[in-house]
Copies of this chain bind each other. A is one copy, B any other.
């Protein structure tokens, strides 16, 4: 313990420092990150049925497990779990003020697993560990790799994922850190999936209420599914969504600034596209009720208000989950487009995407076997 005089000086020094600090948050620049650094993010958030209803109004998802307490209970859940992507967006939103306030681009995701179900009333916090740093040759930006975790009020991890972002440097002359690029798995192993899905009484799974009789192995590997419907996005919608997630990234909200920026308009949060594509995918994948993991995701092109999102999916693989027979895992690739219906499955050839493609997502869902 400091002696009394030293403590007073320490308090005064802290006060002087805090008092002199600009009180607003400038965010971190590339040179502020350190390998191994762990950041506890701010803004703990209790998820409620209010959030569930808003998410429903924003995207119109129809998966029965999340829509109905009765349907979920019959299967063995205590009540309808919160949509997996709500959990993702809320956790992601907490990382933004510390990780991507000064980001140029969101480059990718990997190793995302949904670890525990989340129910209305649960409170989520988030933290991130810096697992990689690589300055760019321009010296103006660098890539920051973080592994982020969402945790509930019982200190259980409910979500983990890796993402990497290109972040601006404050000062181009600041020395570059030792380059460290993490080795990331191309995909989550099937055996590591399912923590957020309790063992289900799958005999109680009513296909008529669920909206489809198709089970996991009814989808041959390679099958492509056009999800048909299109959803036009409005400025108010994506702003409501992004604020719901307490995601503060300026490019989504500030037309005054963005009008002079790269696109001349507000950029829609990429996660909004993910949720739209997921909701559209119900048409053809109605029994893919749980997103268990995300292997990779690329926001191929930006989406702006007034554009119409379409989606298609391809079944990449089906897999049993060790030790359980209620559900199995389907590895899906879902591609979302803007202003282009997907009857012809617009895709990439070589490295070049069809210019209408806005999202390419590789993920695992669980379905009844």
User: Which A residues contact B (CB, under 8 angstroms)?
Assistant: 15, 18-19, 21-25, 40, 42-46, 48-54, 56-60, 62, 64, 67-71, 80, 97, 121, 123, 125, 153, 208-215, 217-220, 223, 225-232, 234-237, 239-244, 246, 248, 250, 253-257, 266, 283-286, 306, 308, 310, 339, 341
Contact = CB atoms under 8 A, between A and B. Distances in A.
A7 B73 CA distance: 30
A245 to B, nearest CB: 9
Work out how many copies of this chain go into the complex.
3
A130 to B, nearest CB: 16
Contact of A209 (B42, B210, B255, B266): B42
A10 to B, nearest CB: 14
A155 B241 CA distance: 35
Contacts of A70: 44, 46, 123, 153
23 contacts: A18-B218, A23-B219, A23-B225, A23-B284, A42-B208, A42-B210, A43-B67, A45-B67, A46-B68, A50-B52, A50-B54, A56-B244, A56-B246, A60-B243, A60-B246, A60-B248, A62-B248, A67-B246, A70-B123, A230-B256, A232-B235, A232-B253, A257-B341
A353 to B, nearest CB: 19
A87 B59 CA distance: 20
Contact of A339 (B48, B246, B256): B256
A272 to B, nearest CB: 12
